[in-house]
A and B are shown apart, each in its own frame.
Chain A
Amino acid sequence: ETGVTQSPTHLIKTRGQQVTLRCSSQSGHNTVSWYQQALGQGPQFIFQYYREEENGRGNFPPRFSGLQFPNYSSELNVNALELDDSALYLCASSLDRGPYGYTFGSGTRLTVV
């Protein structure tokens, strides 16, 4: 049984650019949730995808968008990057919308300069 895999592990982007982060869910899981974790803070919910549909969204602007694919992997896209977008982006997979049985990936560290 494979865990949650995120790519890339680290990324540096310039303000105004766009970025795509990827997540492969754990085998058997059909739900993917994305979180943003600023340094020294707890993770904040961005959105969740269940069976390719968005199932809930946190307090993030529309320039944060996502997708889930038929194999339940997922992408997080952020347009018009701002300096405050610098954070660790975590993906968590679960079964049937969770939140029980969340398995987190190791995250993507995004730095916006």
Chain B
Amino acid sequence: TQLLEQSPQFLSIQEGENLTVYCNSSSVFSSLQWYRQEPGEGPVLLVTVVTGGEVKKLKRLTFQFGDARKDSSLHITAAQPGDTGLYLCAAEAGSGNTGKLIFGQGTTLQVKP
């Protein structure tokens, strides 16, 4: 069974602090996605990482795909209250074009002003 484990599950920090969220698995994935979900809304895709060792930056967010394509991290620099939300990592299950995503259990981030 392919699983994605996220840590930490909850994070409450002050505005301006840095943080890292981790997404780990024992399985190898061809790609991995990060989503952010706000209360009452569906997840919104932030980034897709494809190549082992790849680093992508989206303003203050830095995403890294592990060399072995089994893990990923999301680092936020100088967090702001607008970053508050549920962060989810996801990867395509199985092999081939299954179209099925498996999700981690999510990391709830609260950034206090």
Contact = CB atoms under 8 A, between A and B. Distances in A.
B88 interface: yes
A107 B44 CA distance: 12
B97 A41 contact: no
B87 to A, nearest CB: 10
B42 A90 contact: yes
B99 A50 contact: yes
Interface in A41-94: 41-45, 48, 50, 55-56, 58, 90, 92, 94
B93 A45 contact: yes
Contact of B100 (A41, A48, A96, A101): A48
B102 A41 contact: no
Interface stretch (B14-22, B61-69, B76-84, B103-111): B103-111
Contact of B42 (A42, A96, A97, A105): A105
B106 A99 contact: no
Contact of A56 (B4, B40, B100, B106): B100
A40 to B, nearest CB: 7
Interface in A10-61: 31, 33, 35, 40-45, 48, 50, 55-56, 58
B75 to A, nearest CB: 20
Contacts of A97: 97-99
**Shortest beta-carbon contacts, A-B, top 9:** A104-B42, A42-B103, A97-B99, A98-B99, A45-B100, A99-B101, A42-B106, A42-B105, A48-B99
